[in-house]
Amino acid sequence: MTKEYNVGVLGATGAVGQEMLKNLADRGFPVKTLRPLASPRSAGQKIEFEGSEVVVKPVGPDAFNGLDICLFSAGGDASGEWAEIAARAGAVVVDNSSRWRMDPRVPLIIPEVNPGAIKKHKGIIANPNCSTIQMLVALKPIYDAVGIRRIVVSTYQSVSGTGQKGIEELSDQVKKLLSAQDATNKVYPHRIAFNCLPHIDVFLDNDYTKEEMKMVNETLKIFDDQNIRVSATCVRVPVFFCHSESIWIETGRPISAEAARELLTRAPGILVVDKPAENAYPLPSEASGRDEVFVGRIRADLSHDNGLTMWVVADNLRKGAATNAVEIAELLIREPELIKTDWA
């Protein structure tokens, strides 16, 4: 008989929280009882889970009692306030915010990349940034085979990365512009419709954005390799769902595009779409709603002997957030002795 678990989802009414619930159901996660949680203003709403209506409960000091696992998708402030309380109550927290990612006590997990790191958890496990997840899923097979010295990545990130407010702003602006009306911007510093903004999150003292430095720092932690040099440029584009990335790497030893393509074809979680002569390459419109990381345009760099370039696309709400979190929970239940907390 399959063991079942008491599972909570904090931020259950948000876009990623809804995807977490859908993933739990779609993947057949062994849920004994589900406890959806949200802020007091969202509490009381009813959500559907596996054919039944469940009432969303307000988050509070006693909200995590009796839970085995709690998926967090309520933002960094909420994670900072509630994650330790949940862990001390006995629930293993899988947190989707940036709050705990660089904490040395907290493993930062992509199941296809560093599953073994989960054994180091003390009650809180961090879900990486959406752009980091898809990049490292694509690079892991190559890193293992020949090593990677340098990564230069440019991202093309959809507005759903900002949440429902980003989706609504793009939709509203498109409608107004096509009706010859003025489009106002509140969510982004400039109009996003028919535009590209090289600006995601706040600018830091080094003139990189916080989003760009997340990709740098998280890559080093997940690969557990401080020798990789990483540079990122993150761009918001007028696409509703899915992030795209142009990735250039310098490998430690030479590898042909053909050999890299073969490695990626065999790797878990990756779907290679790479037939340029047939106009077949990863597209956001085809990756939307999917859990795979799509990889294509794999080719040797003409300017560097050990250079390799590729194009990577993934659904940022699914593999970039909700699916990765549920996959982390699946790692936990494969070794039930890991479902414990000793957060000091």
Residues marked active site are found at 130, 243
Question: In terms of C-beta density within 10 A (0-12 exposed, 13-18 middle, 19 or more buried), how is residue 50 classed?
Answer: exposed
Distance CA 233, CA 50 (A): 40
Helices (H) and strands (E) in the chain, counts: 8, 14
Q: Using an 8 Å Cβ cutoff, are 244 and 311 in contact? A: yes
Look up residue 89 and give its amino acid: A
Q: How far is CA 109 from CA 53, 185, 195, 227, 324, in A?
A: 32, 35, 33, 19, 8
**How many other CB atoms are there within 10 angstroms of residue 344's CB atom?**
8
DSSP string, 81-123: HHHHHHHHTTPEEEE-SSTTTT-TTS-B--TTT-GGGGGG-SS
What sign has the CA pseudo-torsion 74, 75, 78, 81? positive
